[in-house]
A and B are shown apart, each in its own frame.
Chain A
Amino acid sequence: MGREREVPKQPASYTVEQLVAVNPYNPDILPDLENHVNEQVSLQTYSLDTNLCLLRLYQFEPERMSTQIVARILVKALMAMPAPDFSLCLFLIPERVQMEEQFKTLVVLSHYLETARFRQFWDEAAKNRHILEVVPGFEQAIQEYAIHVLSLTYQKVPRPVLAEAINIEGLSLDKFLEHQVAECGWALEKGHGRGQLIVLPRNEFNQPELKKNTADRIPLEHITRIFPILG
């Protein structure tokens, strides 16, 4: 009863995502999901749905929980910012588990990112390399998030503000900028008197004119409702 649905005999072609889609509430897939977390770490991929499914199984059977896996899921979720994945995971992790030192650290890191305090974030991250280094691509993912927030906010951002947000300075920053100018449509300008300004690509959030005026469109289905009247 309840557990009557079996894991299908797994043909090699079954992805873990499909497995979850067919058996969202089957405790037997727990080991597959744990392996999948490690796979996401090593292959630098990400799957929120399967990770939430695993946290759900841990929630149902706390004695099977591996805190090491949970930590990896949370680091991956931080890397998914600006999406709210980190909170989505925390909602499912019992408070007494969250009291562990490594999780407290991750919560603090998330707090800095959520409130765009990048300098504090990078300082704190440097102190906790042992938790973060396990997951390749971490730094780059956070830099991408920082650039995302900057692009929402700025048309032109002063160089020091950018440097602090992505934690790159001096020559490395020059190189980084060179790359962004060539590949991502960034431009450099001289600020009035003091240093460099970086012109970020235009988008509808930093350039309100670009916002498409979709406000007054009527979908065809709505029009069809008055067809009988028009006819």
Chain B
Amino acid sequence: MATSYDHEDAVGYDDIGGRQEQQPDQGYDPNFVPDSVKTFVVHLYRHIREKNVYEIHQMYEGSFQKLSDRMFKESPWPSVDAVAPYVDNDHVFCLLYREMWFRHLYARLSPTLRQRIDSWDNYCSLFQVVLHGVVNMQLPNQWLWDMVDEFVYQFQSFCQYRAKMKNKTEQEIALLRQYDQAWNVYGVLNYLQALVEKSMIIQILEQEKEGLEQFTATDGYDYSGGSNVLKVLGYFSMVGLLRVHCLLGDYHTGLKCLLPIDISQSGVYTSVIGSHITTIYHYGFANLMLRRYVDAIREFNKILLYIYKTKNYHQKSPQYEQILKKNEQMYALLAICLSLCPQVKLVEENVNSQLREKYGEKMIRMQRYDEEAYSLYDELFSYACPKFITPSAPIYEEPLVNYNQDAYRLQLKLFLYEVKQQQLLSGVRTFLKLYSTISIGKLATYMEVDEPTLRTILMTYKHKTHAVGSDGKIISNADVDFYINDDMLHVVESKSAKRYGDYFMRQIVKLEEIINDMDRVKLE
């Protein structure tokens, strides 16, 4: 379990343990600016000043990656001081450049503690500038999402790094103590929260429902000369907060942070694939931990289908590997949800066949509830869970130990505890599917337990399949249900309610499209 868990979240992010600090590349001169980089920053700077979102996006997604692949595969980009003269020493541009500089460093090399601290400082300066409203730019959603995403990632990475205390040098420890505010959990949460509040995004989304404001319709962009930066950063920060809270094991609060975003519809969060996946992955995971399996299954199903259909389209994207990794993890989480709550009819055909291919055999074994089944739950959970963190600093006065696995072990343990409590339910299910009525005595004999025990198992079944929703109402997640009248158990057939309404709606739209197409055809 621990081995699979040890992998970093992002593919290509090397182990950030204490011993593998980056060795300065022999050939790297931070002050040397190749011509292609000169051209890159000059153009990017110009496009930003001209608010040409399309060109900014091209350079950000395309040129930056290409140059990185060609020239900076194993070394950092030129230092910000070296490029500053080419961009009028523009303060905000330099902050943006450094943000990309660090992101590239984190992705391709291993940051030193010093660099981690500097990157934190850079985020502070950048967010301060944004929060004080002096930014008058229009940046692509992809870039703004990447900022929030990377900010949370670097926080997570820092907590993991700090928790591995055993091999730290005295110098590192001194630095950690000196800069104890760097990546401090209060700081991280308060920046995200401040972005949400200052941007007024919650009010904007509220007003949009009443038609008083446009946000979703323009994908967050501002076409009347304003800036989209604060608004969209605030928007993505809600997803950032969901993720941080999940990393801390605070699922209830995480979901609360996401409430202003209506995930039953597409929105700005779906305009960037990375944000779409991060949102649903954490939403689903939090619901799984809250035992709201049906909610988790529904959303996993939707996004897995979406990825299935659009995978080829993203093949060239720099996020492709990350998409595939999260895709696999969400199949594992779906397998867990369906093993605890077999509502297979909620899963679309293509997703289901992918799921069977990947986990079909394991899912059968997970129904058995023996030692092997537990180890499978353990394996899938460990593979697919977020990279939990301990947010507090080590106690330097005590002998230094590694505590980077503590948070993960606790969440795993509590999850397996839940699995154990549900261990007899799959047996009940099997029998419920065979009978329409059966006496308690008979069922007890079949299940090889005494009557009082059977009654507790049946009540457990009811309790575990009836979740308490966010509004406090009881929601049934039961695939097969029953009720007991004295000594007789009556099984309630779950009629799968076909939703003809949606079907007809879709067909109406389709027919209209076909008719339009046919109208366009000119018969010669």
Q: Show the binding face of A for B, using Cβ within 8 Å.
A: 1-5, 24-27, 48-49, 52-53, 56, 59-63, 82-84, 87-88, 90-92, 94-95, 111, 114-119, 149-150, 152-158, 161, 164, 191-192, 197, 205-208, 213, 215-218, 222-223, 225-226, 229
Give the chain A neighbours of B468 by CB distance below 8 A: 82-84
Q: Show the binding face of B for A, using Cβ within 8 Å.
A: 124, 181, 184-191, 193-194, 248-253, 256, 289-291, 390-392, 395, 406, 409-411, 413-414, 417-418, 421, 452, 455-460, 462-464, 466-468, 472, 474, 476, 481, 483-487, 492, 497-502, 505, 508-509, 512
Nearest residue in A to B253 (C-beta to C-beta)? A52
- Whole-angstrom distance from the CB of A155 to the nearest CB of chain B? 5
Top 9 A-B residue pairs of the complex, sorted by shortest distance between their CB atoms: A2-B187, A215-B497, A116-B459, A91-B249, A25-B189, A152-B462, A218-B501, A208-B492, A206-B483
The answer to whether B186 and A25 have CB atoms under 8 Å apart is: yes
- Whole-angstrom distance from the CB of A57 to the nearest CB of chain B? 9
A88 to B124, alpha carbons, bound, how many Å? 32
State which of B124, B460, B505 has its C-beta within 8 Å of the C-beta of A218. B505
**With A82-B466, A152-B466 as contacts: A114 and B392 at CB distance below 8 Å:** no
State which of A87, A152, A225 has its C-beta within 8 Å of the C-beta of B414. A87
- Whole-angstrom distance from the CB of B217 to the nearest CB of chain A? 14
**With A60-B186, A88-B252, A226-B505 as contacts: A216 and B456 at CB distance below 8 Å:** no
- Whole-angstrom distance from the CB of A121 to the nearest CB of chain B? 10
The answer to whether B184 and A156 have CB atoms under 8 Å apart is: no
Give the chain A neighbours of B251 by CB distance below 8 A: 88, 91
State which of B253, B406, B498 has its C-beta within 8 Å of the C-beta of A94. B406
Give the chain B neighbours of A56 by CB distance below 8 A: 248, 250, 253
**With A87-B418, A88-B251, A94-B410 as contacts: A59 and B392 at CB distance below 8 Å:** yes
Looking at chain B's contact residues, the main secondary structure is: helix
A1 to B194, alpha carbons, bound, how many Å? 12
**With A59-B248, A84-B468 as contacts: A216 and B483 at CB distance below 8 Å:** no
Give the chain B neighbours of A156 by CB distance below 8 A: 484-486
The answer to whether A154 and B485 have CB atoms under 8 Å apart is: yes
State which of A5, A53, A87, A157 has its C-beta within 8 Å of the C-beta of B194. A5
A209 to B497, alpha carbons, bound, how many Å? 14
The answer to whether B190 and A25 have CB atoms under 8 Å apart is: yes
The answer to whether B421 and A222 have CB atoms under 8 Å apart is: no
The answer to whether B191 and A215 have CB atoms under 8 Å apart is: no
State which of B390, B459, B498, B502 has its C-beta within 8 Å of the C-beta of A153. B459
State which of B185, B252, B290, B395 has its C-beta within 8 Å of the C-beta of A60. B185
- Whole-angstrom distance from the CB of A77 to the nearest CB of chain B? 11
State which of A26, A82, A91, A149 has its C-beta within 8 Å of the C-beta of B250. A91
The answer to whether B456 and A153 have CB atoms under 8 Å apart is: no
Give the chain A neighbours of B249 by CB distance below 8 A: 91-92
**With A2-B190, A153-B483, A206-B483 as contacts: A82 and B463 at CB distance below 8 Å:** yes
- Whole-angstrom distance from the CB of A140 to the nearest CB of chain B? 19
The answer to whether B484 and A218 have CB atoms under 8 Å apart is: no
A116 to B185, alpha carbons, bound, how many Å? 39
State which of A2, A48, A60 has its C-beta within 8 Å of the C-beta of B191. A2
Q: List 26 A-B contacts (CB under 8 A).
A: A2-B181, A2-B191, A25-B186, A25-B190, A59-B248, A82-B466, A87-B414, A90-B414, A91-B289, A91-B411, A94-B410, A95-B409, A116-B456, A117-B456, A119-B452, A152-B474, A154-B484, A158-B487, A205-B483, A208-B481, A208-B492, A217-B501, A218-B501, A222-B505, A226-B505, A229-B509
State which of B392, B463, B481 has its C-beta within 8 Å of the C-beta of A116. B463
Nearest residue in B to A164 (C-beta to C-beta)? B452
The answer to whether A91 and B410 have CB atoms under 8 Å apart is: yes
A223 to B455, alpha carbons, bound, how many Å? 47
Give the chain A neighbours of B409 by CB distance below 8 A: 95
Nearest residue in B to A202 (C-beta to C-beta)? B483
Nearest residue in B to A155 (C-beta to C-beta)? B485
- Whole-angstrom distance from the CB of B128 to the nearest CB of chain A? 9
A192 to B439, alpha carbons, bound, how many Å? 14
The answer to whether A92 and B184 have CB atoms under 8 Å apart is: no
The answer to whether B252 and A216 have CB atoms under 8 Å apart is: no
Nearest residue in B to A120 (C-beta to C-beta)? B456
A1 to B481, alpha carbons, bound, how many Å? 54
**With A84-B290, A92-B248, A226-B505 as contacts: A2 and B463 at CB distance below 8 Å:** no
The answer to whether B486 and A61 have CB atoms under 8 Å apart is: no
The answer to whether B392 and A2 have CB atoms under 8 Å apart is: no
**With A116-B459, A229-B512 as contacts: A1 and B124 at CB distance below 8 Å:** yes
- Whole-angstrom distance from the CB of A193 to the nearest CB of chain B? 11
A151 to B188, alpha carbons, bound, how many Å? 46
A191 to B456, alpha carbons, bound, how many Å? 21
Give the chain A neighbours of B392 by CB distance below 8 A: 59-62
The answer to whether A3 and B190 have CB atoms under 8 Å apart is: yes
Give the chain B neighbours of A207 by CB distance below 8 A: 483
A58 to B27, alpha carbons, bound, how many Å? 48
Nearest residue in A to B403 (C-beta to C-beta)? A94
The answer to whether B509 and A155 have CB atoms under 8 Å apart is: no
Known pairs A24-B193, A95-B410, A207-B483. 17 more at Cβ < 8 A? A24-B189, A52-B252, A56-B253, A61-B392, A88-B290, A91-B411, A92-B249, A95-B413, A115-B460, A116-B459, A157-B486, A213-B497, A216-B497, A217-B501, A218-B501, A226-B508, A226-B509
State which of A5, A149, A197, A223 has its C-beta within 8 Å of the C-beta of B462. A149
The answer to whether B391 and A153 have CB atoms under 8 Å apart is: no
Give the chain A neighbours of B457 by CB distance below 8 A: 116
Give the chain B neighbours of A206 by CB distance below 8 A: 483
Nearest residue in B to A96 (C-beta to C-beta)? B406
Give the chain A neighbours of B456 by CB distance below 8 A: 115-118
Nearest residue in A to B472 (C-beta to C-beta)? A83
- Whole-angstrom distance from the CB of B64 to the nearest CB of chain A? 29
**With A52-B253, A83-B468 as contacts: A149 and B463 at CB distance below 8 Å:** yes
Nearest residue in A to B189 (C-beta to C-beta)? A25
Nearest residue in A to B509 (C-beta to C-beta)? A226
The answer to whether A3 and B186 have CB atoms under 8 Å apart is: yes
Give the chain A neighbours of B484 by CB distance below 8 A: 153-157
Nearest residue in A to B191 (C-beta to C-beta)? A2
Give the chain B neighbours of A155 by CB distance below 8 A: 483-485
A115 to B459, alpha carbons, bound, how many Å? 8
